[in-house]
């Protein structure tokens, strides 16, 4: 009788526990659905971005496997034979590999090292301007080049740098000098690329720093002014520390794209005479992978760049966390 009673009690306990679990699951789902419905307008706003990333970012990851295959369009992604790391070896053993890496890192590093401080300085200067109308005019002028394509910028650079009738060369000839072929000279091409990129993008880069400066409490500036702090002291002790997290964040994100030296810009500006100093990974991939239909090679190089970028972000994130206390995660 005792055994039978214990068995009945155990079954009752199991039944109660099961019903409680089902009830808890149902309650959690009901709460999740209510939370979703309550924030449905926010999810609706997020939908286009989510759809974009699913279709154009996560969907193509399936096709990334062709980096390890000898891709044949007729056989498809799944039917093409595996070749392992052959395409990675082809790229690394290429005669131009060291040259491509050096050029790519040079352009990316120069644009980061020179462009980021200039963007921060410009944002600080705009933040200190008291005349609102003057600040608006300056912002419009420095933002405008960002909205011009590199094709248009190439036309502008031709008007400035053309050896025959370019503005700068006309000035050089007026002082008795010889005209310089800036766009076809290996000695000058890198400088043209870096300077033109800074000219085009620095103004636009100031937006995020200016927004960070505007988020700093005005009370801090008022207290510093009362204490007799100069403009320079207020910038050094309030403005710069206030936007330091944003500077670190932007730098870390830029490091993840250190092997993206600006395909559109280089492709428009470079030519055969400057291949030795202007050819980067993306332009080489375009010629070898796209024009010669080596899709697997192009995909392998893309994965190579992604892995290097991820590694740089992880290392730089840890370094930033230890030195400045700021990091992505």
Is the CA virtual torsion 286, 306, 71, 74 positive or negative? negative
Residue 15: what pLDDT?
A: 58
SS (H, E, C) 170-206: HHHHHCCCCCCCCCCCHHHHHHHHHHHHHHHHHHHHH
Residue 188: what pLDDT?
A: 92
pTM greater than the 0.85 cutoff: no
CA atoms within 13 A on the CB side of 216: 22
Asked if residue 298 lies in contact with residue 285, where contact means CB atoms within 8 angstroms, the answer is yes
Residue 192: what pLDDT?
A: 93
Cα distances (angstroms) measured from residue 198 to each of 113, 186, 205, 246, 324:
11, 20, 10, 19, 26
In eight-state DSSP terms, residue 94 is S
pLDDT tens-place string over residues 38-69: 888 888 999 999 999 998 888 888 888 888 99
pLDDT tens-place string over residues 213-229: 988 888 888 888 888 88
CA atoms within 13 A on the CB side of 8: 5
* pLDDT-derived band at 12, boundaries 50, 70, 90: low
> Which tokens belong to 265?
């810009």
Q: Scanning the structure block, which residue is given the tokens 């992880």?
A: 314
Contacts of 64 (CB under 8 A, 6+ apart): 299, 302, 303
**What residue ranges define each of the domains in the chain, with the CATH number in brackets?**
2-71 (no CATH), 86-323 (1.10.3720.10)
What interhelical angle do 2-38 and 40-53 show, nearest 10?
80
Residue 11: what pLDDT?
A: 55
Average pLDDT of the chain is: 85
Q: Is the pLDDT of residue 212 over 80?
A: yes
pLDDT tens-place string over residues 239-292: 998 898 888 888 888 888 888 888 999 999 988 899 889 999 999 888 888 888
Cα distances (angstroms) measured from residue 242 to each of 27, 218, 245:
44, 12, 7
Q: Which of 102-106, 176-180, 293-297 has the highest mean pLDDT?
A: 102-106
pLDDT tens-place string over residues 143-198: 999 999 999 999 999 999 988 888 999 999 888 888 888 999 999 999 999 999 99
Beta-ladder partners of 69: 82
Residue 245: what pLDDT?
A: 86
Residue 1: what pLDDT?
A: 45
């Amino acid at each position: 009788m005792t055994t039978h009673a214990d068995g009945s009690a155990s079954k009752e306990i199991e039944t109660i526990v099961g019903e409680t679990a089902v009830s808890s699951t149902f309650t959690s789902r009901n709460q999740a659905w209510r939370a979703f419905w309550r924030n449905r307008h926010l999810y609706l706003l997020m939908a286009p971005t989510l759809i974009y990333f699913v279709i154009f970012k996560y969907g193509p990851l399936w096709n990334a496997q062709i980096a390890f295959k000898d891709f044949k369009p007729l056989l498809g992604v799944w039917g093409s034979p595996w070749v392992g790391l052959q395409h990675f070896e082809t790229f690394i053993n290429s005669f131009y590999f060291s040259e491509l890496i050096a050029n790519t890192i040079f352009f990316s590093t120069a644009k980061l090292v020179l462009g980021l401080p200039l963007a921060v300085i410009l944002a600080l200067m705009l933040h200190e301007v008291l005349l609102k109308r003057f600040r608006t005019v300056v912002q419009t002028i420095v933002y405008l080049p960002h909205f011009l394509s590199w094709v248009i910028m190439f036309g502008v650079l031709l008007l400035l740098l053309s050896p025959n009738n370019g503005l700068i060369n006309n000035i050089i000839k007026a002082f008795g000098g010889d005209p310089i072929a800036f766009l076809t000279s290996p000695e000058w091409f890198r400088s043209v690329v870096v300077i033109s990129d800074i000219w085009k993008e620095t103004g636009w880069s100031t937006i995020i720093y200016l927004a960070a400066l505007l988020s700093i409490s005005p009370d801090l500036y008022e207290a510093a002014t009362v204490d007799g702090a100069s403009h320079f002291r207020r910038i050094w002790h309030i403005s710069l520390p206030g936007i330091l997290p944003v500077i670190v964040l932007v730098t870390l994100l830029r490091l993840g794209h250190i092997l993206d030296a600006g395909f559109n810009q280089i492709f428009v500006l470079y030519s055969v005479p400057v291949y030795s100093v202007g050819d980067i990974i993306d332009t080489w991939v375009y010629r070898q992978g796209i024009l010669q239909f080596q899709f697997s090679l192009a995909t392998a190089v893309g994965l190579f760049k992604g892995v290097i970028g991820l590694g740089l972000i992880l290392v730089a994130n840890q370094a930033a966390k230890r030195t400045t206390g700021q990091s992505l995660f």
